[in-house]
A and B are shown apart, each in its own frame.
Chain A
Amino acid sequence: MAELTSRGSGRVAVLKPQVFAWVQDYGVYAAVLALLLFNVLFTPHFLDASNFRTQLVQVTPIVIVSLGMALVIGTQGIDLSVGSVMALAAALTVLYLGYGWLPALIVAVIGGAVMGAAGGALVAYVGVQPIVATLALLVGVRGLANVLVPQLVEFRSPGLIALGSSSVAGIPVIVLIAAALTVIVLFVVRRTTFGRQVVAIGGNRSASELSGLPVKRVLLTVYVISGLLAALAGVLATARLQASDPTSLGLFIELSAITAVVVGGTPLTGGRIRVLSTVMGALLMQLLAATLIKHNLPQSWTQMVQAVIILAAVYATRKRGPDERHGGQ
């Protein structure tokens, strides 16, 4: 239908939807490439391996959290609780470190999954709006983390410290873990029934219900996965910091994660999940901040530029109306 109308109104109009579709699908890759190119040309020491390593390590928690966020947003939901879940994971890790770092990690991840299940149950079974359900968790879980561990605690667990700071073939372990998680989530979204169900529910919930999909169970699972990933990000961040800091760990990371997902071209209206683009979205924001800092522009600029990029990205996504989606996919 889009083709018919645009044919009537001349050549420019034929190109326009295509350009928009292209920008939406590959804009984030193009932006990352452009920024990389700019930095290679104009930023001294940009190509140093240590610089790349620093940037990647810094962006790792956001990447992991935004993978879960992409799934949640794919179901037309949102998860504001991720930052607080990271803090809870940090608190649980240090509390159970006495049993060894692996049991502590497992307890922390289970804690995150439980919090995800709480949010998911409110959304799926009670029918509370995702934004309020996870807002309640944002407030409550951060408090819980602070009750458990009131102040910053440093630790000396060699295993956990190694997890945070060791490298394999020059690549930090936590970056490898993030990459592995990306591949797993990509596989789940593209190749599994569960992935199909998530996208279907986000696209049209009542149709999914009518066609017999286990809507409530899938929704619950999505929030559990988001909590699980957030907790893992919290443990990894704690391992890198070599200290548990429930007061400030993961503060406002929900905004960064939502930004990464949205800039990656996943629409907030659900029904579409773009995993690799989400990772690219996180990288773009990180690279942007690093570029501005390297060129001595203050933090205030970074935030204003981020605001513009978010708006531009969503404006591009908006162009894909329901009729175009039929033509495009």
Chain B
Amino acid sequence: MSDTAVSETFRREQVSRLLQQHGAVMVLGLLVIVGSLAFDSFATPANAASVVVSSSFLAIIAIGMTFVIISGGIDLSVGSLFVLGGVLAAYGSQYGALVALLLPLAVCGVVGLLQGLVIARTGMAPFIVTLAGLLGVRGLMLAISDEGATTYLVEDRAFAALGQGEIAGLSYPVYITIALALVAMVLLQRTGFGQNVYAIGGNEQAAALMGVPVARTKVQVYVMSGLLAGLAGALNAARLSSGVTILGIGLELDAIAAVVIGGTLLTGGAGGITGSVAGVLLLGVIQSLINQVGSLTSAFQQVVSGVFLALVVVAQRLLSKAQRLT
């Protein structure tokens, strides 16, 4: 092979890897530019703030989901945990802000711990274990809310302020999300734990042979996902001033979609936080653009999201094929 051919294939590999990792950010930028040119009311601070605020809760869940998926697993229980977290936070708020925050974190963390232990110790498929988690947690949520009939109101002012307070036009959850994303990035890219997550997602047996603590890492990943879903639910309850029992059902699929759109491979071993956050924002921007068009219903937004997700996975598949060929 001549030098030019080598550099050519090398370049192509670089380009496809770049596209895979940062494609979501690029498409997001493109959509924002197109949206601002096409609609006067799109690029306004108010609209931008509404997209960012409503995306922040899904983003928190997607951060946890990113870790789980990179480790080669999946977590279907996060939608139920989100709702449970909200109900528990609203219920706990009658005992003060601290209880309102810690109760959902504790319960959702324990659920994550149990799921992680079952997955790591018995080798059962994460899909099934967390599917059982989805049902079990939804049952638990219904049990403490009189079959969904009771909506607890947030009694504590300080806790409500956590979801409603604003700095520079953006509510606190946005800043919390940004902080969490930064911490998660450092955790994933710069620590031994992050390396372990990538290693077991890439090749679990090889990782085990190299001395990576596979079981412990898996448990940690599911605990994290549970904690983050519970936190997102608690913050959402604070924002809405109540523990709503119906919102958030099916959120696990949105989170998975966002993570996949962000370039994290469901086969594990590759991906990142930036992509997932971009994926969440992308879903939010699509929704906002469709609202701008006005004549289109929210059903149309689902069609676009579905088609978009299909396009992304096809593109990803082709890109990873291109990488492997070289």
Which A residues lie at the B interface, using CB under 8 A? 78, 80, 122, 126-129, 131-133, 135-147, 150, 252, 255, 258-259, 262, 268-269, 298-308, 310-311, 314-315, 318
Contact = CB atoms under 8 A, between A and B. Distances in A.
A139 B147 contact: no
A172 to B, nearest CB: 28
Interface string B288-316: 00000000010111111111011001100
A13 to B, nearest CB: 19
B39 interface: no
Interface in B227-282: 250, 253, 256-257, 260, 266-267
The listed residue with most B CB atoms (<10 A of its CB), out of A132, A137, A142, A306, is A132
Given A129-B267, A307-B135, A147 B297 contact: yes
Interface in B96-122: 118, 122
A139 B132 contact: no
Contact of A304 (B125, B136, B309, B318): B136
30 contacts: A126-B313, A126-B314, A129-B313, A131-B74, A132-B256, A136-B257, A136-B310, A137-B310, A138-B253, A139-B302, A139-B309, A140-B302, A140-B307, A143-B300, A147-B299, A268-B127, A298-B142, A300-B139, A300-B143, A303-B135, A303-B138, A304-B136, A304-B139, A306-B139, A308-B136, A310-B128, A310-B135, A311-B128, A311-B129, A318-B122
Given A129-B267, A139-B309, A307-B135, A298 B300 contact: no
B5 interface: no
Contacts of A268: 125, 127-128
Nearest to A143: B302
Contacts of A135: 253, 256-257, 260, 309
B167 interface: no
Contact of B147 (A262, A299, A304, A315): A299
A143 B256 contact: no
B134 interface: yes
A255 B131 contact: yes
A306 B307 contact: no
Contacts of A258: 131
A131 B266 CA distance: 9
Contact of A128 (B134, B253, B300, B317): B317
